Amino acid sequence: MKKTICMLAIFFVSTALFAQKKTTTSATVAFDATTSLDALPMADNKTVVAALDPKSGMIAFEAIVKSFSFKNPMMQDHFNSDKWLDSDKFPTIVFKGKITNLKAVDFKKDGTYLTEVKGDLTIHGITKPLTTTGSVVVTGKAVSATAAFTIKVDDYGITNKAIDNGKVAKDPKITITADFK
Amino acid sequence: MSLKPTVKKIIITAITIFIIACCAVWYVFTVKFTDTVKEKADYAVNALDLIDEFKKNDSLANKKYAEKIIAVTGVVTEIEMADSTVNIKLADTTTGSYAIFAFQQQHLAEAKTIKEGDKVTIKGSCSGGTYSQILETEYIVFKRCALSK
């Protein structure tokens, strides 16, 4: 009897631990808006907050816009200005979504799993639906996730001459990587 | 064939303006951020005081600190490392609120020598702070960081 109770206790504790939301405060979001005319518009943000709930498939991230780091100071100033991301007015980029093929991911077994993610991405104060593919890598207790997709900047109300002239891509590539704890 | 002095002057002036314009464009497109170690800090603060200031009113704190170079002193509570990233956290362990410092490329090696529990002063460009809906706590982010010597 005692043995059965112990086994049940271990099962419930491990299930509860497994079901806990996984987070990181050091996810990376990189974007590449370079074109053949300009190799400067690219940056990354290495202090993004991200979360993944293995039980529900919820996946989310929050990035502070001013934390995108460029090599070129002028480019960084432009990025934050009211003609681009307007980071004083819209200080964060937020994604909230779900892994829609959660059954394809076994968080208890090491492996690389292809995922489909659907959610809402908010940039520049405008929220648009986003569907993309990504991957989840399980190695022991460690779980990492990556996804890459493109967005149309005019969907998010970002339009200006540099985009029209082909110096900045109309559809920059966004890459997200997160190592969850 | 000799050019009139006035025409000569115009040509020389035009060439000079063209060269200066080329240099200015070249400078603007190739300039990089200064090594943070060489930059003077606009503020020197204790990590817990800084976190408190953001928690009390992050709009005011963002106006004061965002895009400024700040030297922050505190005890390292966590180190998050990946291949090309070393992020050092100074957290308020009672509330979970934290300041996080992403190191400048040339200072990654020194960041890797830092251990949890070390008392450090880190200088970096403050990207501002906000309340995280995910973590349900306040956090402040720094980029281009270096150990302050």
Across the interface, whether the CB atoms of A26 and B85 are under 8 A apart is answered yes
- Whether A102 is covered by a domain: the verdict is yes
Q: Which residues of A touch B32 (CB under 8 A)?
A: 71-73
Across the interface, whether the CB atoms of B133 and A62 are under 8 A apart is answered yes
Radius of gyration of chain A from its Cα atoms, rounded to whole angstroms: 19
pLDDT tens, position by position, A12-58: 444 444 457 999 999 999 999 999 888 888 999 999 999 999 999 99
In this prediction the ipTM stands at 0.85
- Whether A127 is covered by a domain: the verdict is yes
- Indicate the pTM of the whole model: 0.86
Sort A88 into a burial class: Cβ within 10 Å, 0-12 / 13-18 / 19+. middle
pLDDT tens, position by position, A77-95: 999 999 999 999 999 999 9
- Whether A105 is covered by a domain: the verdict is yes
Nearest to A40 among B29, B133, B144 (CB): B29
Pairing relation of β-strands B137-147 and B98-103? parallel
pLDDT at A4: 54
Amino acid at A90: F
State how far the Cα of B106 lies from the Cα of B30, in Å rounded to an integer: 18
Q: Which residue of B has its CA nearest to A38?
A: B29
Across the interface, whether the CB atoms of B143 and A69 are under 8 A apart is answered yes
How many CA within 13 A on the CB side of residue B109? 1
Q: Which residues of B touch A73 (CB under 8 A)?
A: 31-33
User: The CATH number of the domain where A90 resides is what?
Assistant: 2.40.128.110
Shortest alpha-carbon distance between residue B5 and chain A (Å): 40
- Whether A7 is covered by a domain: the verdict is no
pLDDT tens, position by position, B61-79: 999 999 999 999 999 999 9
pLDDT tens, position by position, B14-40: 989 888 888 777 776 677 788 999 999
Percent of chain B with pLDDT over 90: 70
* Count of structural domains, chain A: 1
Other beta carbons within 10 Å of B114:
17
**Residues on A contacting B at a C-beta cutoff of 8 Å:** 23-26, 28, 40, 46-47, 49-51, 60-62, 64, 66-67, 69, 71-74, 91-92, 94, 179
Question: What is the DSSP track for B42-68?
Answer: SEEEEHHHHHHHHHH-HHHHHHHHTTS
For residue A49, what are the domain limits?
A: 21-180
8 A C-beta contact, residue B48 and residue B74: yes
Domain B36-147: give its CATH code.
Answer: 2.40.50.140
- Whether A140 is covered by a domain: the verdict is yes
8 A C-beta contact, residue A26 and residue B103: no
8 A C-beta contact, residue A61 and residue A50: yes
Shortest alpha-carbon distance between residue A83 and chain B (Å): 18
Q: Where are the domains of chain B?
A: 1-31, 36-147
Residue A5, pLDDT > 70, answer: no
State how far the Cα of B58 lies from the Cα of B55, in Å rounded to an integer: 6
